[in-house]
Amino acid sequence: MDPYVRRQPDVVAGIVVLQDVGKNDVVIAVAFGDVPVLETVVKHLAARAFGVHIDEARIAEGRANAKQADVDYLVELDQQDAMQADISQDNVETPY
């Protein structure tokens, strides 16, 4: 997997706008990093979000960031191999 690069807010906004994400969507971010996509999704669109990352440090950072942003109740973060993740509940994937 490529090294982690923090996503810029304007890029994040563009991702969710292009995908026409709404409040009834469940968004998945694979190898999500520090939660910027998920935070944008839940804060501004009221959608639920699911993040998967293999790195335990990213999960911890993501959970802390979601809690600090007061969106942790809408964000589920799981540590696992993205290729093994069950994404059947999700209907929007956030590419980067």
* Domain ranges for the chain: 9-93
- Predicted structure pTM score: 0.70
Question: Pick from 42, 31, 43: which is nearest to 7 by CA?
Answer: 31
Q: Hey, what are 75's tokens?
A: 């964000």
The list of the chain residues with pLDDT below 50 reads: none
pLDDT at 22: 77
**How far is Cα 16 from Cα 93, in angstroms, rounded to an integer?**
10
Residue 12: C-alpha distances to residues 6, 15, 83 (Å): 10, 5, 23
9-93: CATH class: alpha beta
| pLDDT the model gives residue 28 | 74
The predicted structure's pLDDT at residue 62:
85
